[in-house]
Amino acid sequence: MDDDTTVVRRGGVAKRRLGYARGAMQIEPFDAAHLDGIVECVTAVWSEHNVIARALGVTADEYRPVAERMCRAALASGMGLMLREPRADRVMGFHICGDLVDELPAEAHKEQHGTPRMQRWAALLSRGLRWYLDRYHAQQPLRRGEVFYMDIGGTRPELRGDGWSSRMIVQAALTLAVPRGYQRLLAIATHPHSVHKARTTPGATNHEIRFADLEDPDLSKITEPDAVIVSVMPLPSRPTG
């Protein structure tokens, strides 16, 4: 088979790999030439592997319009990173960010106008965002350029565990957030790995929404992870001079 396919084992579980070496991947800004591939990657990864999407039964067809809106917005604002395998010119991962001023109406739109399952998903995220606003902006209104919102990110299953998601998070903070002068980073963690990272990251202020406490009959059954984490981190000042 001419695809450099190998099988590696992690924890006794066989995992098929397709010759994607660490050094072969490139983290790059979104560009128009790869927009369709980015949308396809976001749709596949998020609808098939996101904990909430699976619990609610969100389909790829249902999620694709949401993915396309997010990707186009990130392309326009310069707030998206893709993980690309140059040899096949295939998008293997993504990280979508934005200014919280723009993200609040986007979530409200999904909650009001999305499909019933997307509305339930958006309602959970909106609950986390309301906690943030009540905690940090009860006295001072939110301003554009203040809060860098890490919306969604992920990689295709064959790259899981290789650290690419963490690399994209760091690169987004250092190349997208800090140079623009953002003061604070906000993320809502729902994946078991990202929840663990949020709980163990020094300096993070976290708010937990336990799945078992939710009234939604499907979301309340999620046990891994046991909670959604709304995580807030201060950002270093933009370099001067």
For 159-204, the pLDDT digits (tens) are 988 899 999 999 999 999 999 999 999 999 999 999 999 999 999 9
What's the rounded Cα separation, in Å, for the pair 15 and 25?
Answer: 19
Q: Inform me whether the pLDDT recorded for 73 exceeds 80.
A: yes
Which pTM does this prediction carry?
0.88
Q: Which positions ≥6 away from 10 have C-beta within 8 Å? A: 161
Report all structural domains of the chain as residue ranges with CATH numbers, in order of start: 23-234 (3.40.630.30)
Contact (Cβ atoms closer than 8 angstroms) between residue 210 and residue 158: no
Tens of pLDDT, residues 26-55:
999 999 999 999 999 999 999 999 999 999
